[in-house]
Amino acid sequence: MSRILRAGIVQHACTEDRTENLARSEAGIRLAAGKGAKLLLLQELHTSVYFCQYESTRLFDLAETIPGPSTEFFGALAKELELVIVCSLFEKRAPGLYHNTAVVLERDGSIAGKYRKMHIPDDPGYYEKFYFTPGDAGVAGTLGASTAPPAGFVPIVTSVGKLGVLVCWDQWYPEAARLMALAGAELLLYPTAIGANPADATDEQERQREAWITVQRAHAVANGLPVLVANRIGFEPDPTSQTPGAEFWGSSFAAGPQGEFLAQASRDKGEASIVDIDLERSENVRRWWPFLRDRRIDAYGDLVRRFRD
Amino acid sequence: MSRILRAGIVQHACTEDRTENLARSEAGIRLAAGKGAKLLLLQELHTSVYFCQYESTRLFDLAETIPGPSTEFFGALAKELELVIVCSLFEKRAPGLYHNTAVVLERDGSIAGKYRKMHIPDDPGYYEKFYFTPGDAGVAGTLGASTAPPAGFVPIVTSVGKLGVLVCWDQWYPEAARLMALAGAELLLYPTAIGANPADATDEQERQREAWITVQRAHAVANGLPVLVANRIGFEPDPTSQTPGAEFWGSSFAAGPQGEFLAQASRDKGEASIVDIDLERSENVRRWWPFLRDRRIDAYGDLVRRFRD
């Protein structure tokens, strides 16, 4: 018994030219669709360079609404090619209120749902707290209310399954992956934009890349779910020259529910990876390793504390 | 700036002869102490074969009290060799009430603390729910009580640092590692007994071993903490012949706070691995990747639910 979903993961470099970036995403999508992909994952903020390398109010001009230009563009592609597309964009929700948002386009071109990035980083060269308001879905009034409908970290229901879409910095948080799994996600998907500081030693750069791969494979293991990750490639300079810029490390990958690699892209080439995911395998793996059965929910209360001091 | 802790991790095969098993553990401890180790981790249930391969009331005779024979034996060694020892035993707490417990012996021979395994597995050949009552530390009355003292998943304070001691099946749960980190653990330590079913295909056996390594390295990454793991080696037959027995895969290891390997033992040899851990590195790694800063504690409430349905 198996239920195969063929997925595509597209990674590419980005430029200052939005039209060119859209063309690169589209080329990858068409390639994957031609090979039979029914689900397509794009990298984080794929329509622009990673603009968060510095803070400028001018850059809010890059933001767009939902629906808007990106959802129209990728919605039309999803409809034409009859596949589900997970895209990423800089969302303008209201004047002065912006999010880092993943949008899922259904294969009829409609918007299946969106996810606003919940964990927002801020470190030299990644000034996201300036640009992105943290996602607020399901934050108020649901804690401990076991009869309330699930809210926050909720999978998006599509024709290919329930997609646990998270974004970049979220990938370091086992809590986010777990909440998606508990809400019935069948896959975890991470559009991301992460790279090395070229001034760091090579072994430090490699430790960081390995850590990034390891923690996401572990979400697969801990939850018995497949994981798909898309990350951009290419060097992008810091326009302010305050940092040495970012060498985005690509390495987009897919892992099965034991964390096993199903596909791995290069660090530096534009690629559309194709991967066959057996959605029935989670059921089998969870029978062998029934982690959800044994969670000590009676002893996890302090997970909602900042620190146990 | 660095603060180096030299640690030893001992793995060995076990027999039906308790005296022989103690001698093997002692030999590893003396070897590590001779090389300057100040912290020593033993594997899970190292004084016996892994008796949970079948259920028999007779086997409760293997249990012992705390203090008792094991804490006396390892306490004396800890005092003589002036190092902290993390040992594991089958604890008799009261008639009909047994635990799978790790005990930490301070270098003066005293008991620094104990941890009763919280997550208890039960699958063919690992019938632990029959033998072990789940740990109950800090379960009642602490949920959401932010003014209450931390309880459950609490590190053990020793002369070499705050030890986040967990046991085997706990290792699959990011919640356990996170709660230890939030309570100030400086290291995570896992005594464990896990092996392959020899009837499984080789690639399946390897996926399981890799998953086990990956999920524990990820606890290091997600929490910015070093992780030490000890696992037994050797084939142990199932006395009932209901299963093909267990081929314990050793592979004890240490990882730094980015999940990087610091030491890795073989799958099949008795070994005392020696590893130098820089306890200052967690501070540095957490400055680069300040995951604790950005946890969405306002949105994690559903982590105490069994399933979000």
Cα separation values, B78 from A91, B33, B84, Å:
59, 10, 6
- Quick: pLDDT tens for A5-33: 999 999 999 999 999 999 999 999 999 99
φ, ψ dihedrals at A286, nearest 5°: -70, -20
Between the two ends of chain A, the Cα-to-Cα distance in Å is: 49
Chain B residues touching A179 at Cβ < 8 A? 299-300, 302-303, 308
- The SS3 assignment for B201 reads coil
**Per-residue confidence (pLDDT) for residue B139, from 0 to 100:** 58
pLDDT reported for residue B151: 62
Where helices occur in B132-201 by DSSP H, the ranges are 174-182
Contact B123 A290 (CB under 8 A): yes
Catalytic residues of B: 44, 117, 168
Whether A148 has its CB under 8 Å from any CB of chain B: the answer is no
Query: What average pLDDT does this structure show over B18-33?
Result: 98
Give me the percent of chain B exceeding a pLDDT of 70: 95
Q: Is the pLDDT of residue A131 over 70?
A: yes
How does pLDDT run across B134-143, given as a tens digit for each residue? 999 865 444 4
pLDDT digits (tens, 9 = 90+) for B76-132: 999 999 999 999 999 999 999 999 999 999 999 999 999 999 999 999 999 999 999
- The rounded distance, in Å, linking the Cα atoms of A189 and B215 is 18
Which residues does chain A have within 8 Å of residue B146's beta carbon, measured at their own beta carbons? 305
- B295 to chain A: which residues are within 8 Å by CB? 119, 173, 175, 306
CB distance A166 to A188 below 8 Å: yes
Phi and psi torsions of B225, nearest 5°: -130, 150
B221–A214: do the CB atoms touch at under 8 Å? yes
Using one digit for the tens of pLDDT, what is the confidence trace for A241-279? 999 999 999 999 999 999 999 999 999 999 999 999 999
Can you give the pLDDT at residue A152? 80
Asked whether the predicted pLDDT for residue A143 surpasses 80, the reply is no
Could you say which of B260, B288, B304 has the minimum Cβ distance to residue A301? Answer: B304
Which residues of chain A are within 8 Å of residue B176 when distances are taken between CB atoms? Answer: 296
Q: Which of A110-124, A138-152, A231-245, A251-265 has the lowest mean pLDDT?
A: A138-152
Quick check: B84 and B7 in contact, CB under 8 A? Answer: no
Joined tokens for residue A3: 């239920």
Would you give the distance in Å from CA B231 to the centre of its chain? 9
B158, β-bridge pairs: B161
Domains, chain B, ordered by start: 4-289 (3.60.110.10)
Nearest to A303 among B123, B179, B207 (CB): B179
Does position A153 have pLDDT exceeding 80, yes or no? yes
B282-286 average pLDDT score: 94
Q: What percentage of chain A exceeds 90 in pLDDT?
A: 94
Interface of A with B in 9-68 (CB under 8 A): none
Joined tokens for residue A267: 């660090």
B191-250: pLDDT as tens digits: 999 999 999 999 999 999 999 999 999 999 999 999 999 999 999 999 999 999 999 999
Q: What own/partner pairs with CB < 8 Å and gap ≥ 24 does B56-63 have?
A: B59/B131, B60/B92, B60/B98, B60/B131, B62/B90, B63/B90, B63/B91, B63/B92, B63/B98
* Spatial separation of the C-alpha atoms in residues B142 and B144, rounded to whole Å: 6
Structure tokens belonging to residue A191:
């559009």
